[in-house]
Amino acid sequence: MSANAMPTHTQDAHQPYLISWNVTRRCNLSCAHCYMDAGARSAPSDDELTTEEGLRLLDDIADVGPGAMLVLTGGEPLLRPDIFDLAEHAAQRGLLVVLGTNAYLLGDAAAQQLADAGVRGVGISLDSTRATGHDDFRDRPGSWRRALEAMDVCRRRGLEFQVQMSVTTQNVDEVPSVLDLARDKGAKAFNVFFLVCTGRGQGITDISPQEYERTLSSLVELGGSHGGMMVRARCAPYVARIARQSDPGLSVYEDQVACIAATHYCRITPDGAVTPCPYLPAVAGAIREQPFGEIWRGSELLAEMRSGNLGGKCGACEYGATCGGCRARAFAMTGDYMAEDSWCLHQPPQASHGVGDREPAREPVWTEEARDRFARAPGFVRKMVMRKIEQYAREHDHHLITAEVVDGAKGGMRVPPMSPKGGLSRSSSPLDRATTSSRLRARRAREARQGEDG
pLDDT band at 79 (very low <50, low <70, confident <90, very high): very high
Name the residue with higher pLDDT: 197 or 267.
267
Q: For the residues 216-229, what does the mean pLDDT come to?
A: 85
- How does pLDDT run across 408-432, given as a tens digit for each residue? 877 655 443 333 333 333 333 222 3
Q: Please name the helix (run of DSSP H) or strand (run of DSSP E) that holds residue 160, with its range, or none.
A: strand 160-167
Give the lowest-confidence range in 135-139, 147-151, 310-314.
135-139
* Mean pLDDT of the 345-355 span: 67
Confidence bin at 254 (pLDDT 50/70/90)? low
Neighbours of 427 (CB within 10 A): 8
Q: Are 276 and 20 in contact (CB under 8 A)?
A: no
Q: Is the model's pLDDT at 203 over the cut of 60?
A: no
Q: Give the C-alpha separation, 257 to 242, whole Å.
A: 13
Rg of the chain taking only CA atoms, in angstroms: 22
Domain edges within the chain = 15-207+257-306, 365-435
pLDDT at 356: 42
Number of Cβ within 10 Å of residue 391's Cβ equals 14
Quick one: pLDDT at residue 357? Answer: 42
Q: What is the mean pLDDT of residues 47-75?
A: 96
Q: Give pLDDT, residue 340.
A: 93
Cα 40 to Cα 45: distance, rounded to the nearest angstrom: 11
Q: Cβ(318)–Cβ(345) under 8 Å?
A: no
User: Using one digit for the tens of pLDDT, what is the confidence trace for 173-192?
Assistant: 999 999 999 999 999 999 99
328, 35 contact by CB (below 8 A): no
Highest mean pLDDT pick, 207-221, 342-356, 370-384: 207-221
- For domain 365-435, the CATH class is mainly alpha
The segment with the largest mean pLDDT, out of 34-48, 152-166, 234-248, is: 152-166
Does 397 have pLDDT greater than 90?
Answer: no
Backbone angles phi, psi at 367, to 5 degrees: -80, 165
State the pLDDT confidence band at 39, using cuts at 50, 70 and 90.
Answer: low
226-231 long-range contacts, CB within 8 A, separation 24+: 226/179, 226/180, 226/183, 226/190, 227/183, 228/183, 229/182, 229/183, 229/187, 229/188, 229/189, 229/190, 230/188, 230/189, 230/190, 231/179, 231/189, 231/190, 231/192
223-227 long-range contacts, Cβ below 8 Å, gap at least 24? Answer: 223/250, 223/252, 224/252, 224/253, 225/252, 226/179, 226/180, 226/183, 226/190, 227/183
Average pLDDT, the chain: 80
pLDDT at 248 over 80: no
Helix 108-117 vs helix 83-92: crossing angle, to nearest 10: 30
CATH architecture of 15-207+257-306: Alpha-Beta Barrel (3.20)
pLDDT category at 368 given cuts 50, 70, 90 is confident
pLDDT, tens only, 331-348: 888 889 999 998 899 999
The DSSP string of 229-280 is EEEEEES-THHHHHHHHH-TT-GGGTT--S--BTTTEEEE-TT-EEESBTTB
